[in-house]
Amino acid sequence: MTKRTHQAMTVDVEDYFHVSAFEQNISRQDWQKLPLRVEHNTYRLLELFEQYNARATFFTLGWVAEQCPQLIKDIVAQGHELASHGYDHQRAIMMTREQFKQDVAKSKDLLEQASGEQILGYRAPSFSIGEQNVWAYDVLAELGFEYSSSTYPIEHDLYGVPHWPRFKFRRDEGIVEIPVPTIRKNGSNIGIGGGGYFRLYPYSFSKRRIDKYLSQESAPYSFYFHPWEIDPEQPRIGGASLRSKVRHYINLSRMEGKIVKLLNDYQWSTMRAVYLEG
């Protein structure tokens, strides 16, 4: 099979207890008491990427860099791009401008100290930049970032700016925003960039949507997922809503196999290489 080019693989490096869906059930003060699984899972992804000659952008929490500094060094040493996912997965929409600046600056500093590399990319937890906090782009520019991938132009109960651009665009602040990919269906945007829907649907269905995007659009494609999504043995979180549990746990046992198929069917590189240097 001939592999297509111009695809960016991205990994949001956070653990199972960091996710927004469980933020009402797990206190940040208790994170240190929980089994840490992000390091092992991310190393497994590094093995897979090496096996299939794939490169990726790892949007990584500063908190993870504190706990796993060698992992950060190894991500960069294996030729991947390191980028910021904020410090402790606080959604941007829940912070003031000054809190956001402190959070992102702390994350950037920790990642740069651990890696020895300049951090130029940022992704807000839960794609939480929108019309209510566009000042976030001013902050990113002040802190020396070049690009963000913090918007998902779909309707969703936790995030989404459906009327914002579907493709890469440069904002007045100087930051290049790279939205998660969508296709158009019945006048609406349908998300095809990864996450829970990719786990839910059969691989063949997701692949048809990706191929449709690649055949109809002149823009690159990017995919995102998390290390905890290949970890069916992770501890279960009590007290969460049924919706949150279904979203988080569905088809975890099948995810690694689906990722392998993606790596086999397409050629993957980093966000910088695909969107800024390509």
| pLDDT digits 0-9 by tens, 97-140 | 999 999 999 999 999 999 999 999 999 999 999 999 999 999 99
Provide, rounded to the nearest whole percent, the portion of the chain with pLDDT above 90.
82
- Computed over every residue of the chain, the mean pLDDT equals 93
d(CA 257, CA 229): 11
Query: At 157, is the pLDDT very low, low, confident or very high (cuts 50, 70, 90)?
Result: low
Count other C-beta atoms under 10 Å from residue 215's C-beta: 8
Query: Which string of b and e fits 185-196 if b means at least 16 CB within 10 Å?
Result: eeeebebbbbbb
The region of weakest confidence among 18-22, 82-86, 223-227 is 18-22
175 phi/psi in degrees, rounded to 5: -85, 135
d(CA 147, CA 221): 16
How much is the pLDDT for 140?
Answer: 98
Residue pair 149/121 in contact by the 8 Å Cβ criterion: yes
β-bridge pairing 147-148 and 176-177: parallel
Tell me the pLDDT tens digit for each residue of 204-248: 999 999 999 999 999 999 999 999 999 999 999 888 888 888 889
How much is the pLDDT for 278?
Answer: 65
Residue pair 148/272 in contact by the 8 Å Cβ criterion: no
The three-state secondary structure class of 173 is: coil
As given in the structure block, the two tokens for residue 243 are 């919706």
Return the domain boundaries, the chain.
4-276
d(CA 121, CA 161): 20
| Alpha-carbon 211 to chain mean position | 21
Mean of the pLDDT values across residues 26-52? 96
Residue 224 one-letter amino acid: Y
Q: What are the C-alpha distances in Å from 127 to residues 21, 97, 157, 246?
A: 13, 16, 12, 20
Q: DSSP letters of 131-178?
A: GGGTHHHHHHHHTT--EE-----S--SS---TTS-SS-EE-TTSPEE-
Count other C-beta atoms under 10 Å from residue 162's C-beta: 13
The region of weakest confidence among 5-9, 107-111, 176-180, 259-263 is 5-9
Mean of the pLDDT values across residues 146-164? 79
Per the document, the length of the chain is 278
Q: Is the pLDDT of residue 1 over 50?
A: no
pTM, whole model, 2 decimals? 0.95
The three-state secondary structure class of 127 is: helix
Listed in sequence order, the DSSP H helices in the chain are: 38-51, 62-67, 69-77, 97-115, 135-142, 196-200, 203-216, 242-249, 252-265, 271
Superfamily of domain 4-276: Glycoside hydrolase/deacetylase (3.20.20.370)
How much is the pLDDT for 2?
Answer: 39
